[in-house]
Amino acid sequence: MRPGGQPNLQQLMKQAQKMQQQMADAQAELADAELTGTAGGGLVTVTIKGTGEVSAVKIDPKAVDPDDVETLEDLVLAALHNASEAVRELTEQKMGPLTAGLGGMGGGLGLPGF
């Protein structure tokens, strides 16, 4: 800060640009990421992109029992949840350090309300 408690606007702009680039880089990494969720010891596998889009579902024939469709449905749902959790964790890992600076004292920019 400058004398009188005024923030250095040029420095704030540089910080904002740097954070914006880091955010864009992290978003690009997430978009390129593919994560896998499994259930039933690998009987059902779901591949999901970092954006949350499901790109593949694989079901081992051993999981298919015409007399017990509910178990297969549960396995697919569990694999989806597992894959979604992996996306959430990756997003937190990539974006967490960047978004942490946005909270708290003046949003991390040193300005009230930002």
User: For residue 109, is it within any domain?
Assistant: no
Strands 34-39 and 44-49: antiparallel
User: For residue 87, is it within any domain?
Assistant: yes
Q: Alpha-carbon Rg of the chain, whole angstroms?
A: 22
Q: Which CATH number do you get for residue 44? A: 3.30.1310.10
Q: What are the pLDDT digits (tens) for 20-29?
A: 888 888 888 8
Which range among 1-10, 29-38, 84-93, 98-107 shows the weakest confidence by mean pLDDT? 98-107
Encoded tokens for 35: 């994560």
User: For residue 72, is it within any domain?
Assistant: yes
Domain that residue 57 falls in: 31-95
Domain count for the chain, please give it.
1
Q: What are the pLDDT digits (tens) for 33-50?
A: 899 999 999 999 999 998
User: For residue 82, is it within any domain?
Assistant: yes
User: For residue 62, is it within any domain?
Assistant: yes
For the four alpha carbons of 85, 26, 23 and 93, in that order, the dihedral sign comes to: positive
CA distance 88 to 55: 16
User: For residue 84, is it within any domain?
Assistant: yes
